[in-house]
Structure 1
Amino acid sequence: MLAAFGFEAMGVVVGDMYFIDPSPNEGQETPERGVRLELRLVDRAAPQGSIYAGIPIAFSRPVWRVDLFGSTESPPGTLDRAHHHPRFNGWEPGRRHFVPELSADPLSWLAGELADPAAVLARAGVDANEVSEADKTGLAAAAPEIIAAVKRLLDGVRDGELAPAPAEPVAAARTGWL
């Protein structure tokens, strides 16, 4: 499942994920599943045709990522691998940052981050002129809706409805939109 929240120059995308071999980090070799949220820049083009034509919209380059993941060997709903990537290098995320508050109370931690988009963007190295004040205000105002979407997806993963394992054994896999 994918949920998207768009503003003028940035947006948030949220989706369920499953990884067979998620990380080269020692102690994290087993599969993991959960919910990923990314703050991305948004590109919007002119209508392709008449004034009534659809408008191409792209949630392009990610600038910040939150992975609310748990090992498949842990009880469902356990977020023992929850982390975030405060910065990207192009399309590649930086290292995983584990924050105790993120695992303990992920929705409250995430709400706090979304309430201060300027700080998130500054840590991500995004030029202050790249995103308008209206975008930052809009993101902060939409935080409760975004948190609600994340909660719905987390509930779906916990209940086994989302982030399914591949149907057949594979050596490496990643399922989900993000």
Structure 2
Amino acid sequence: MLRVYCFDTLAVTVEDVYLREPDPQRGGDERGVRVELRPLAAPPWQGSPNASQPLACGPALWRADLLESVAGGPGTKDRMHHHPGMSGGEPGPRVFVPALTADPILWLRDRLADVTPMLEAARVTDAASHKAAVAALRDAAPELAEIVGTVLGEVRAGRLATSGH
């Protein structure tokens, strides 16, 4: 299930994922939670003053994959990584960080508390235009991290991310 949390000009998506690995030599399938920071755009106003308006999330600027190998089992934290500075929604190489593996929820909360380095790594040219969103994300970081922890718990319990596509 994909969840989208909107903060003025930025959004955070949280999704349970099951990823099939076509090459068994690379370690097999993995499952967990994907968290992405995305730009959020509101098209020009349409309709009456009371009309519901569309929103559009752009491709991810940053991604954290709180993944575990299916073979290793729940709680192994053996595939947890992030992708700083994504371009055009494409992830670069996986970046493994000991602090992420040690405590993924705390690590994520700390990243969401200041997304400015993520914007810089993604070479966002109008980073200053996201000032209100950065502040709102800072305030919401503990709640978002708790949500991700709940989703990860559901994955580990076998209730989410049960099959790949």
Whether the TM-score (by the shorter chain) exceeds 0.5 is yes
User: Shift of the alpha carbon at 1:46?
Assistant: 3.6
Three-state SS of the structure 1 residue aligned to 2:76 is coil
Structure with the largest fraction of strand? 1
Give the root-mean-square deviation of aligned CA atoms: 1.8
* 2:54 paired residue among 56, 63, 77: 56
Would you say 1:106 and 2:131 are equivalent positions?
no
User: Shift of the alpha carbon at 1:118?
Assistant: 1.3
Provide the rounded CA distance (Å) in 1 between the counterparts of 2:126 and 2:37.
15
TM normalised by structure 1 equals 0.85
Provide the rounded CA distance (Å) in 2 between the counterparts of 1:131 and 1:73.
44
The one-letter amino acid of 2:17's match is M
User: Shift of the alpha carbon at 1:43?
Assistant: 1.1
Provide, for residues 53-111 of structure 1, a one-character-per-residue CA deviation record: whole Å limited to 9, x for no partner: 21101111210000000000012132210000001121211111011111110011111
Provide the rounded CA distance (Å) in 2 between the counterparts of 1:116 and 1:39.
12
The one-letter amino acid of 1:34's match is G
Provide the rounded CA distance (Å) in 2 between the counterparts of 1:28 and 1:56.
41
Taking every aligned residue pair, what percent have the same amino acid on both sides? 42
Q: Which runs of 4+ in 1 moved over 6 A?
A: none
Q: Which residue of 1 aligns with 2:26?
A: 28
Higher relative contact order (CA 8 A, sep 6+): 1
Q: Which residue of 1 aligns with 2:129?
A: 131
Correspondences of 1:63-74 after superposition (within 5 Å): 63-74=61-72
Structure 1, unpaired ranges of 5+: 167-172, 174-178
TM normalised by structure 2 equals 0.91
Would you say 1:12 and 2:3 are equivalent positions?
no
Provide the rounded CA distance (Å) in 1 between the counterparts of 2:25 and 2:149.
27
Count the aligned residue pairs.
Answer: 165
* 1:154 paired residue among 135, 142, 152: 152
The one-letter amino acid of 2:88's match is G
